[in-house]
Chain A
């Protein structure tokens, strides 16, 4: 079965750039979506279809996807970006919608 791999945690200082990866076999051939989840809240999509930002999401959030790795990049990180981040893809071979295990972003 298809597996999505995210690092459990990423730490970054305010103002720096955070990169959160989502690994999967040939993930570059699929559309990847990214969600931000703050404690006690529902997830919110920050990037969809690899690199598209919904309205209201700051330009600091961007995405890329190639080969076996998709990446969510958060530029000029702020304290308010501290949250769990999840990637989501569809595996056509199993017709299964999958989430990565999540990455906790800590702003130092």
Chain B
């Protein structure tokens, strides 16, 4: 049973860089059958799609975050990562990693999610 698990600092200072990792167990990030995605949810609010990556490194990002976001994949460690630069309080959210079936397209449905990790932006 494939599982996704987010990890990283729970507290980041304003203007610094948020970095999270999603570890994949029971499956492989080098699979050509899936994209790997990041989504976030501010407390008490709705979902926001951040971006996705394919195992060969192809990425697609939310246009509103594109200038600050980098998603990368390390198939040797079987994980993928999110970097968000110049963060502010507006970036406080639960960050989820998830999987997208390749057959649905990079913009497709998210068939498996991690449990999420809360990142608070505060000094």
Contact = CB atoms under 8 A, between A and B. Distances in A.
Interface of A: 31, 33, 35, 41-45, 48-49, 54, 86, 88, 90, 94-102
A102 B46 contact: yes
Given A98-B49, A99-B48, A42 B109 contact: no
Interface of B: 46-49, 60, 62-63, 96, 104-105, 107-111, 113-116
Nearest to A89: B107
Nearest to A100: B46
Contacts, number: 57
Given A42-B96, A42-B116, A99 B109 contact: no
B63 A99 contact: no
26 contacts: A31-B108, A31-B109, A33-B109, A35-B110, A42-B96, A42-B113, A42-B115, A42-B116, A43-B113, A48-B104, A48-B108, A48-B109, A48-B111, A49-B109, A86-B46, A86-B47, A88-B47, A88-B49, A88-B110, A90-B105, A90-B107, A94-B63, A97-B49, A97-B107, A99-B46, A102-B47
